[in-house]
Amino acid sequence: MSRRDLGKAMYGAVLAGASTDAAAEATPKNAPAKGAPAKGAPGGNVTLIRGAYVMTMDATRGDLPEADILVRDGRIAALDRALPVPAGADIVDAAGAVVLPGFVDAHTHGSISQMRGLYGNTPETAFFPVTNRLSAHYTPEDTYLGMLLSAVENVASGITTTADFFDIVRDRDHAEAGLRALQDAPIRARLLYGMKSKTTADPIDLAHVEEWQRGWAQRSAGGRLSLGLAWRLPQDLDDAQAWTIKQREWEAARRLGLPMQVHVSGTVPGRAAAMFDALIGRRMLHPNLQVIHATDARDDQLAALEEAGSGLVVTPLTEHRVGYGLTRIDRFAGTRRLGFGIDGSALAGFTDMFALMRLVALTQAGATRDETAVSPRRLLELATVGGARALGLDAEIGALVPGRAADLQIVRLDAWHLAGFDGGDPSGLLVYSARPEDVAAVMVGGRFVKRDRRLLGFDAAALLGQARSSIRSIRRRALRADP
């Protein structure tokens, strides 16, 4: 047995046969294959990734052409040229490939991912009416499938961390199903616990959130998951009663030390600005809160955000799609904690951080009539370390630095649309030319969850089939209730 095969065999033992089709077929409905890589503690195996062009995305380390990365016990142990090969290491030849931190999707809506394709851009088939109508007919299994599908699609495309704004928590069974999905999914995730639906005024089930928080160590899948609040402002900003509820939720999150996210957005002129002003006026901005969208934020509002130390997440694919305005990145030049979010593959259409970066680059250059308006390097920073900083996770993830979690992706440059590249800084290639299918391998907490362009531990075909039958049943139930 060659050293490489030996490494694979050892790794296979850790995964307990997760990558074999037989194991996937034997899996019960709605569950990942036995031994799915991400459940439980990070891997204890040793992996050596050799000869890659390494983009650390760390300001002092920069890029390391032809470098090796040693991963041990789920963390980056060393990063240098020609590292010695430890006995029993799983060796990955990454010559000619680029290794960079996994992307950070700092805001998404996983539970509705099987609604993709149902939005038809008419008043009746727009995002909110369709989502609200169908989500009222979700079962816990639908929630589980949506969030699992979203997370699996994320890792397949190079995203290793996601913040899931879980805002369709119909009851505690749905909440538990959502949590189970993220426990089973091969991704690092923050579950942001929210309301029953996007529009009802029912308060968040804070008692359940507190119960989860008390026993979070048992729920966190070995520390891979964190908990937060998916918080919303009142529909009517003058509704004093609604504010009482919102204030109580905000205070609970502060007391429990939970991170929170809040949307500041709208298609009605002045709506987003009024939301931002309400947050500032009520002194509700703080370092453990991320504002989402704020596409047209004024300078004074962004200055208040900086002063409070809050994070900001923009989601250009969906902001453009629903008409929240053009996401111009120059507007946020002074925002220290800025990241990108997919905001749900159902609305974005595709979980594709490459496409997101490209959209930002093209929008910025077109709007300013300036090809040099934004560098590809800056966009890659926002997609990795920027998102980690926005979420307050930058001590753990976002850059390839010894001691941090080994969350990374290997991008192979061997496709037609990447032809012609012959070394040097690959930033432009990644932003303007690369696609999710070029992500050949993805590692979360030291374990490969994708390798040789194959997802490990998941039967993708079965998952897609389950998602299809889930949305079919949801639509049938919705039609029966409201023909």
Site for Zn ion, rule CB under 5 A: 343
- Tell me 18's DSSP state: T
For Zn ion, give the closer residue by CB, 83 or 359: 359
Question: Toward Zn ion, which CB reaches closer, 188 or 232?
Answer: 232
Return d(Cα 24, Cα 465) in angstroms, integer: 14
What's the min distance (Å) between Cβ of 165 and Zn ion?
5
Parallel, antiparallel or unpaired: strands 260-264 and 289-293: parallel
d(Cα 483, Cα 481) in Å, to the nearest integer?
A: 6
The answer to whether the beta carbons of residues 418 and 429 sit under 8 Å apart is: yes
Give whichever of 343 and 407 is closer to Zn ion, judged by the CB atom.
Answer: 343
Q: Which is nearer to Zn ion, 343 or 394 (CB)?
A: 343
Distance CA 370, CA 376 (A): 14
Closer CB to Zn ion, 15 or 294, in the complex: 294
DSSP state of 382: I
Measured from the CB atom, the residue of 165 and 250 that comes closer to Zn ion is 165
CA distances 430 to 33, 51, 335, 455, Å, are 32, 19, 24, 21
Q: Coil, strand, or helix at residue 244?
A: helix
Query: Considering beta carbons, is residue 164 or 343 the nearer one to Zn ion?
Result: 343
Going 76 to 77 to 83 to 89, the CA torsion angle's sign is: negative
Nearest approach, Cβ of residue 422 and Zn ion (Å): 40
User: Given the structure tokens 């490489």, which residue do they identify?
Assistant: 4
Nearest approach in angstroms of CB 179 to Zn ion is 19
Q: How far is the CB of 191 from Zn ion (least distance, A)?
A: 14
Dihedral angle, C-alpha 145, 148, 149, 150, nearest 10 °? 120
- The distance of closest approach from Cβ of residue 347 to Zn ion in the complex, given in angstroms and rounded to an integer, is 8
User: C-beta of 107: minimal distance to Zn ion in Å?
Assistant: 6
Question: At its nearest, how many Å lie between Zn ion and the CB of residue 313?
Answer: 9
Nearer to Zn ion, 209 or 262 (CB): 262
Q: Which residue is nearest to Zn ion (CB)?
A: 343
Structure letter (DSSP) for residue 449: E
**Taking Cα atoms as reference points, which of 123, 45, 49 lies closest to residue 79?**
49
Shortest Cβ distance from residue 364 to Zn ion (Å)? 22
Q: Which residue has the tokens 């088939």?
A: 125
**Which residues are within 8 A (CB) of 59 and not within 5 positions of it... i.e. 6 or more apart?**
none
